[in-house]
Structure 1
């Protein structure tokens, strides 16, 4: 078994975010559920999640839009490329996203 490096953890989390962001964007483009006449398209994700889940959980989940996920993935990839000079907070976030312990 090989050891997983912090850079590996960052790249894995980044790829997961990008895959999910792409899949979500595709679903939003092809599924009428996401359409709304009362909010602008840039708010469709948040509105759809908030309507589906509701309460604080819906609002929290709605903040993790495909755009946000892509931006976080860019951050993770940038940190992975810094060698040993990475931000340990980024690795902690990536580790938790990957199902590990901080």
Structure 2
């Protein structure tokens, strides 16, 4: 299974960037983004930054990854998905028939 990781840009040359997530660093391609500055959160998939994230979205994705780990370990994972508890799922706007 491949997961997108919420990473933070540590240094960049415009073409690639050194990004970090929980102490691990990797060099990723920045060719799909318009040269975001150091400190920016990005979603990284297969060593390519595919979109910008705000701090809250990066936190939620990190929590979801923790929740997946807890579920795989047979632990309760509700605390990792607090933003989803007690609400109905919503379709993205482009999939709604309004």
Same fold per superposition (TM over 0.5):
no
Query: Which structure: greater strand fraction?
Result: 2
Higher RCO (CA < 8 A, seq sep 6+): 1
TM-score, normalized by length of structure 1? Answer: 0.32
Structure 2 length-normalised TM: 0.32
